[in-house]
DNA sequence: AATTGAAGCAACCGCCATCCG
DNA sequence: ACGGATGGCGGTTGCTTCAAT
């Protein structure tokens, strides 16, 4: 059985849109609005299905579409949001005015995924040089964590670097508000509620693990209801409340969320933007300096 | 100059959620 | 309450462009 696809009709054109079709579609929508997408092509005199028209309009012809390459800020936003939301392209796009979910999805698949996968490889090399870090890299959930962490740390590193370069005195404050803003927006809602119906306040795992404080950035702004806290002081206080989050994320892997975070924050930070051809060269003879086990692990 | 493979991107497809009669 | 219609979303495909050989 199954429902019929709206473009199953004979005589419906497929493939690339011609400038003439674009012109007709734009003129029609400007004059009448899109109304029902299904009836639009017939009314406008286009041999396309409504779905195709909607896609063409939303992804390409809409007047507020922002063309051109992604800025570093947009890139960082995508990485961060993808770390939080996964492949929720529409949600990510809603935070990037003028960008479409399709564009972001393509950008992720063609650029960012590759970059993060190369980070994964670096991490594997990095971890294999240390016996004590018993990470099961083949585990899907751990791999997801690696993606998640890679994305987050890369974005943080980039943002902090840009912030310091552009405005050493004030920009940190702005960037520190980024996660709280997203967390408190509709995008963050499912994550705020992840701990169950009793609504027990549980802080974002991202913020729990955030390296802002670890790397010496401290919030100077307490206006936001979402307050950045010292990891050392606050994480342990909330650990019990938030344990389900960590379990969800790490599954049955051999390291806990927080353990992994402690390792990877430092490790990834070091792996980013390393000058020269040999990414691992900087580690030689210096591993003990770069890497320290958390107190609980020593 | 021709060929080939990779990368980038627009568009399609099918599933799912919501709307509406 | 139910079922069909519609819109939205994410995954995938395939065409185009470009660089390497």
Q: pLDDT averaged over consecutive 10-residue blocks of chain A (298 residues)?
A: 46 87 91 88 90 91 87 89 88 90 90 74 63 45 53 53 44 46 58 46 39 34 35 38 35 36 38 36 35 34
| Interhelix angle A72-85/A140-166, nearest 10 degrees | 150
Judge whether residue A147 contacts strand B, using its CB and a 7 Å cut-off: no
Strand B bases within 7 angstroms of protein beta carbons:
7-16
Q: Which of residues 84-113 of A touch strand B (CB under 7 A)?
A: 102-103, 105-107, 109-111
Rounded CA separation A298/A291 (Å): 12
How many angstroms separate the CA atoms of A33 and A28, rounded?
7
Distance A87 CA to C9 C1' (A): 10
User: Which residue has the least CA–C1' distance to nucleotide C4?
Assistant: A3
DSSP, residue by residue, A229-253: --IIIIIHHHHHHHHHHHHHHHTT-
Q: Nearest CA to A290 among A272, A270, A274? A: A270
Q: How far apart are CA A84 and CA A148, in angstroms?
A: 8
Asked whether the beta carbons of A123 and A264 are under 8 A apart, the reply is yes
Q: How distant is the alpha carbon of residue A162 from its chain centre?
A: 18
CA dist., res. A177 & res. A84, Å (int): 16
Task: Output the distance from A10 CA to C4 C1' rounded to whole Å.
Answer: 22
Nucleotide nearest to A36 (CA to C1'): C6
Strand C proximity list, CB < 7 Å? A 3, 15-16, 35-39, 50-51, 54-55, 58, 87-91, 101-102, 105-106, 109
Residue A5 CA to nucleotide B13 C1', Å? 9
CA of A228 to C1' of B4 (A): 54
Q: Which pLDDT score is estimated for A289?
A: 35
C-alpha span between A181 and A175 (Å, rounded): 10
Residue A8: what pLDDT? 53
Count of beta carbons in the 10 Å neighbourhood of residue A238: 15
User: How distant is C1' of B19 from CA of A242, in Å?
Assistant: 37
Q: Å between A32 CA and B10 C1'?
A: 26
pLDDT reported for residue A102: 92
**What pLDDT is attached to residue A52?**
92
Within 8 A by CB and 6+ apart from A80, the residues are A151, A152, A155, A156, A178, A179, A182
Q: Give CA–CA dist A21/A5, Å, rounded.
A: 22
CB A164 within 8 A of CB A174: no
């Amino acid at each position: 059985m199954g429902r019929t696809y709206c473009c199953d009709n004979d005589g419906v054109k497929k493939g690339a849109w011609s400038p003439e079709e674009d012109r007709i579609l734009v003129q029609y929508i400007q004059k009448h609005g899109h109304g029902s997408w299904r009836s639009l092509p017939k009314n406008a005199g286009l041999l396309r299905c409504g779905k195709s028209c909607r896609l063409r309009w939303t992804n390409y012809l809409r007047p507020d579409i922002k063309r051109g390459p992604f800025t570093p800020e947009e890139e960082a936003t995508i990485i961060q949001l993808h770390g939080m939301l996964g492949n929720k392209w529409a949600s990510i796009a809603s935070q990037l005015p003028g960008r479409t979910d399709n564009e972001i999805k393509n950008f992720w698949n063609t650029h960012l995924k590759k970059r993060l996968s190369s980070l994964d490889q670096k991490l594997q090399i990095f971890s294999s040089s240390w016996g004590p870090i018993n990470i099961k890299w083949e585990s899907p959930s751990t791999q997801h964590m690696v993606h998640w962490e890679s994305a987050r740390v890369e974005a943080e590193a980039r943002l902090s670097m840009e912030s310091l370069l552009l405005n050493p005195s004030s920009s940190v404050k702005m960037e520190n508000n980024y996660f709280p803003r997203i967390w408190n927006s509709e995008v963050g809602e499912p994550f705020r509620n992840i701990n169950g119906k009793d609504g027990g306040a549980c802080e974002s795992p991202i913020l729990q693990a955030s390296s802002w404080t670890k790397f010496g950035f401290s919030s100077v702004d307490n206006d936001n209801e979402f307050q950045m806290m010292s990891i050392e002081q606050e994480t342990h206080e909330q650990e019990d409340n938030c344990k389900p989050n960590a379990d969800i994320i790490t599954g049955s892997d051999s390291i806990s969320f927080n353990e992994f975070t402690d390792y990877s924050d430092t490790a990834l930070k070091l792996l980013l933007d390393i000058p020269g051809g040999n990414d691992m060269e900087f580690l030689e003879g210096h591993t003990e300096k770069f890497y320290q086990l958390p107190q609980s692990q020593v």
